[in-house]
Amino acid sequence: MSLIVQKFGGSSVANAEGIKRVAKRIVETRKAGHEVVVVVSAMGDTTDELLDLAKSVSPLPTGRELDMLLTAGERISMALLAMAIKGLGVEARSYTGSQAGMITDGRHGSARIVDVTPGRVREALDVGAVAIVAGFQGFNRGTGDITTLGRGGSDTSAVALAAALDAEVCEIYTDVDGIFTADPRVVPTARKIDTITSEEMLELAAAGAKVLYIRAVEYARRHGVTLHVRSSFNNNPGTIVRNAREGDTMEEPIIAGIASDLTEAKITVVGVPDIPGKAAQIFTIVASTDANIDMIVQNVSSAATGLADISFTLPKSDGARVLQVLENNKADVGFTSLQYDDQIGKLALVGAGMRTNAGVSAKLFTALFEAGINIEMISTSEIRISVVTRADTINDAVRVVHSAFGLDSDVEALVHGGTGR
């Protein structure tokens, strides 16, 4: 008898019918003789609606209260799911994150898991029950407060439980058939990937492919958890995400997939004295805000002025804070002005095979050129090339690059549920 962790995202449990459908599926797995631990997200767009509600009563709600509010979403779905499973004649018990032993640090809104003590989950399994755990939430021992793991964090809850309980597999059920070569909402002819390395998935997730939460992929990689991303709407096999094994590289496709991101903005620090230490000074100031900066480009300084421009990208949600600290240090750094641009889109082409393949960049840039799309910034890693374009060209950019690399499939991908919000 093996232990399986099954995580169901919000779109899979959007309404009563969805909850009943998911319950049936869990019961089938239990009846096949497996121990089943379920992690469930809030129903449909509940989390977004709760956030809207919070904003309508307070412009800047505190992290503690926001977490208290948001965790209510998962509490609703876990209890309903347990009821539905019991209705099918199988014992089930629901647990909040703290009851399930999801211990985190104290960072409200983006807490990290520091320990998992799933004693009560184990007890439930030992009496033959299905354990249902509320995703996305944890408990901080220091303050005794409830925390959340960041948007999309139920994936992390599932992986952490799978690691702690030594599960055979962690199944991530969602509204598409698996991980595709691009978001099927953007590229209907995207192709389903059968197996992808955690290294590649990490790059895709970092670049905006929200089908898996980046921290969940990191956690799975570190703990050697195998992920199976699949649809909760059918029984098709999905995508296996696992660590690379020796010899894998032999048959690797050059490109695994393409991701895009519209949540970033660009800050340009104009007129920075081109002398040693200025980049260090600027990014030390930026780092003090804890913002996650990504691409950095410095142009050549003009000989006449000895001044250079430095641009970098960062989440829009960090924009105001970073502009403020830079402005506060303007005289000290000695730059001329700041520019803020939140109309950018980022496209990333990912594939372990590009390591050994020259010409990938040329092909990417040519495809964009032929579509009349201007590239504003470029950055690369060993297995990724990213470019920044105007936001309103990003979906076209994804489609033309997808075709240029021969990734299109003959059949259209099905998106079963969800609003994509």
Binding site for ligand ASP (CB under 6 A): 9-10, 41-42, 47, 73, 135-136, 151-155
Q: Enumerate residues 227-266 that contact ligand ADP by CB under 6 A.
A: 257
CA atoms within 13 A on the CB side of 160: 30
Residue 416: burial class (beta carbons within 10 Å; 0-12, 13-18, 19+): middle
Residue 315: burial class (beta carbons within 10 Å; 0-12, 13-18, 19+): middle
Question: Measuring CA to CA, how many Å separate 402 from each of 58, 176, 253?
Answer: 43, 18, 14
Cα–Cα distance measured from residue 286 to residue 297, given in angstroms and rounded to the nearest whole number? 15
Q: Which is nearer to ligand ADP, 148 or 311 (CB)?
A: 148
With contacts defined by CB under 6 A, name the span among 109-117, 169-177, 268-276, 295-303 that binds ligand ADP: 169-177
152 binds ligand ADP (CB under 6 A): yes
118 binds Mg ion (CB under 5 A): no
How many chain residues touch ligand ADP (CB under 6 A)?
A: 22
138 binds ligand ADP (CB under 6 A): no
Q: What are phi and psi of 326, to 5 degrees?
A: -65, -45
DSSP letter string over 78-91?
HHHHHHHHHHTT--
Q: Which of 160, 165, 179, 404 binds ligand ADP (CB under 6 A)?
A: 179
Min dist CB 330 to ligand ADP, Å, is 39
Q: Which of 6, 11, 231, 389 binds ligand ADP (CB under 6 A)?
A: 11
153 binds Mg ion (CB under 5 A): no
Cα–Cα distance measured from residue 226 to residue 229, given in angstroms and rounded to the nearest whole number? 10
With contacts defined by CB under 6 A, name the span among 53-61, 103-111, 209-217, 348-356 that binds ligand ADP: 209-217
Among ligand ASP, Mg ion, ligand ADP, none, residue 27 binds (CB under 5-8 Å by kind): none
Q: Enumerate residues 286-345 that contact ligand ADP by CB under 6 A.
A: none
Min dist CB 92 to ligand ADP, Å, is 20
Min dist CB 247 to ligand ASP, Å, is 34
State the DSSP code for 299. P
Cα–Cα distance measured from residue 244 to residue 56, given in angstroms and rounded to the nearest whole number? 47
Q: Hey, which bits of 238-278 come out as E strands?
A: 239-242, 257-261, 264-273
Min dist CB 396 to ligand ASP, Å, is 28
Q: What is the largest CA-CA distance in the chain?
A: 80
Q: Which of 152, 153, 238, 345 binds Mg ion (CB under 5 A)?
A: 152
Q: Which of 5, 103, 209, 387 binds ligand ADP (CB under 6 A)?
A: 209
Q: Which is nearer to ligand ASP, 152 or 238 (CB)?
A: 152
Cα–Cα distance measured from residue 67 to residue 64, given in angstroms and rounded to the nearest whole number? 5
210 binds ligand ADP (CB under 6 A): yes
Q: Which residue is nearest to Mg ion (CB)?
A: 152
Q: Which of 45, 67, 171, 183 binds ligand ADP (CB under 6 A)?
A: 183
151 binds ligand ADP (CB under 6 A): no
Q: Which is nearer to ligand ADP, 102 or 415 (CB)?
A: 415
Q: Are 260 and 348 in contact (CB under 8 A)?
A: yes
Q: Which is nearer to Mg ion, 159 or 286 (CB)?
A: 159
Host H or E run for residue 31: helix 16-31
- 238-252 burial string, b = 16+ CB within 10 Å, else e? bbbbbeeeeeeeeeb
Cα–Cα distance measured from residue 328 to residue 381, given in angstroms and rounded to the nearest whole number? 33
Q: Which is nearer to ligand ADP, 131 or 258 (CB)?
A: 258
- Give the bridge partners for 7, in sequence order: 39, 172
State the DSSP code for 354. G
420 binds ligand ADP (CB under 6 A): yes
**Which positions touch ligand ADP (CB under 6 A)?**
9-12, 41, 152, 174-176, 179-180, 182-185, 209-211, 257, 415, 418, 420
